[in-house]
A and B are shown apart, each in its own frame.
Chain A
Amino acid sequence: MTDRFADLDRALCDKLLSFIYPDESNMTDEEIQAELQRLKIDMRPAIERLNMALNFCNEKQKAQGEYKTAREKRLSLLEKFKQIKIPNLPAQRNVLQEMIAQLLNAPLKATYSRKLEEAASEQDLQSLLEDILRLESLNRESKNEK
């Protein structure tokens, strides 16, 4: 033993290691690439993993955007729905049956026929009547827009 290197301490060791393995922040992209090759580090699996995460993130952002648009559209429709003024009509079961048959499209017909069957009070019938009239008004508006 020569003791030539005996005064090696943590700080000096760190400096020496920085010389042997230069700090990446002082290296160019080309030097980084060469260093990876020298170290025989295969970056392909890590790059693949990163790409997967990026794609997933992009898809997630896209879906979040679509969800936001759909939600805004739904809220605006709901607002429109509430603002529609409806005529003051008597909510009779046979009148409602006729309105369902004439004014609503096929899927809504089935839904509202079932709701009519389930309606027990006058309040239920009145609420159904208002819904049908508003729906019909919205349908008419969207047909006119087209």
Chain B
Amino acid sequence: MDSIPAFTENDQWRKILNRLTIYAQRKFVRLGWKNKHGYRSPHGQDPEDIASEAIVRTIENRRVYNAQRCPDFQQFLRGCVDSIISHVINSPEFQKRKGMPSVVTDEGETEEIQSEGREADPLQICIEKDMVQKVESILEKNFAEDKIVIGIFECCKAGIYKRSELAEYLEVDVKEIDNAQKRLRREMDKYLQK
């Protein structure tokens, strides 16, 4: 562990762990890994388990950190989290459980989503398509008349998604943007728990 930053206080490691946990949690959201117990992977790991595992593997030199190849240590740890999560996604247990998501066609028939041949990982594409459908359904169901959320959606399309810029563009107070964010998050969390 020669090139691992020599943090003298455990507090510095704790901050890294906290930050990495949020990173893992964001990945869980995108994968729809949430149940009534909270954010949890199909293998029963919580985001903080994945984050601590990434750090422990690095400390124990099971993941070798090379400061020259990756000067940003936090970025290296993010990569470790990605790798652990990818391992779960590619595990046979997960692949068995996660079937191809279906869509209802214009004719009212149920059809499996077809992966796009050019892309590398069909299962990953399925998960992402599944998530797009979920988000679209949440928006349609709960925010079709919400002018702020519709505005935020339009701004995101135009590449504007910073709170302050959104507020300026939509001519509302930042607080309203924050409230819209809370409303969206509440519905997302609710939906993910199903």
A-B contact pairs, 24 of them (CB 8 A): A2-B140, A4-B144, A4-B153, A5-B139, A5-B144, A6-B136, A8-B139, A13-B135, A13-B136, A16-B156, A17-B29, A19-B181, A20-B185, A24-B22, A24-B23, A29-B18, A32-B18, A32-B19, A33-B18, A41-B46, A43-B18, A43-B48, A50-B13, A51-B10
Pairwise interchain contact B17-A47, C-beta atoms closer than 8 A: yes
Write the B133-156 contact mask toward A (1 if CB under 8 angstroms, else 0): 001100110011000001011001
User: Is A27 in the interface zone, CB < 8 Å from B?
Assistant: yes
Question: Chain B binding site: helix, strand, loop or mixed by DSSP?
Answer: helix
Q: Once bound together, how far apart are the Cα atoms of A4 and B49, in whole Å?
A: 39
Tell me the chain A residues, 123-144 only, with Cβ under 8 Å from chain B: none
Pairwise interchain contact A41-B10, C-beta atoms closer than 8 A: no
User: Is A78 in the interface zone, CB < 8 Å from B?
Assistant: no
Pairwise interchain contact B18-A36, C-beta atoms closer than 8 A: yes
**CB-defined contacts of B1 to chain A, threshold 8 Å:** 57
Question: Chain A binding site: helix, strand, loop or mixed by DSSP?
Answer: helix
Nearest Cβ on chain B to A42's Cβ, whole angstroms: 8
Nearest Cβ on chain B to A30's Cβ, whole angstroms: 11
Nearest Cβ on chain A to B124's Cβ, whole angstroms: 11
Pairwise interchain contact B47-A41, C-beta atoms closer than 8 A: yes
Which of A6, A25, A29, A51 has most B Cβ within 10 Å? A25
**CB-defined contacts of B60 to chain A, threshold 8 Å:** 53, 56-57
Pairwise interchain contact B52-A46, C-beta atoms closer than 8 A: yes
User: Is B172 in the interface zone, CB < 8 Å from A?
Assistant: no
**CB-defined contacts of B52 to chain A, threshold 8 Å:** 46-47, 49-50
**Which one of B19, B29, B55, B156 lies within 8 Å of A21 (CB-CB)?**
B29
User: Is B88 in the interface zone, CB < 8 Å from A?
Assistant: no
Q: Knowing A12-B156, A27-B22 touch, does A41 contact B59 (C-beta < 8 A)?
A: no
Residues of A within 8 A of B (CB): 1-2, 4-10, 12-21, 23-25, 27, 29, 32-33, 35-36, 39-43, 45-47, 49-51, 53-54, 56-57
Across the two chains, which residue of chain A brings its CB closest to B141?
A1
Nearest Cβ on chain B to A125's Cβ, whole angstroms: 50
**CB-defined contacts of B161 to chain A, threshold 8 Å:** 15-16, 18-19
Q: Knowing A2-B144, A9-B132, A46-B48 touch, does A21 contact B21 (C-beta < 8 A)?
A: no
Pairwise interchain contact B25-A39, C-beta atoms closer than 8 A: yes
Nearest Cβ on chain B to A130's Cβ, whole angstroms: 43
User: Is B87 in the interface zone, CB < 8 Å from A?
Assistant: no
Q: Knowing A16-B156, A21-B26, A39-B39 touch, does A10 contact B18 (C-beta < 8 A)?
A: no
User: Is B14 in the interface zone, CB < 8 Å from A?
Assistant: yes
Nearest Cβ on chain B to A10's Cβ, whole angstroms: 5
Pairwise interchain contact A17-B22, C-beta atoms closer than 8 A: no
Nearest Cβ on chain A to B146's Cβ, whole angstroms: 10
Nearest Cβ on chain B to A19's Cβ, whole angstroms: 5
**CB-defined contacts of A57 to chain B, threshold 8 Å:** 1, 59-60
Q: Once bound together, how far apart are the Cα atoms of A13 and B157, in whole Å?
A: 10
**Which one of A19, A23, A49 lies within 8 Å of B156 (CB-CB)?**
A19
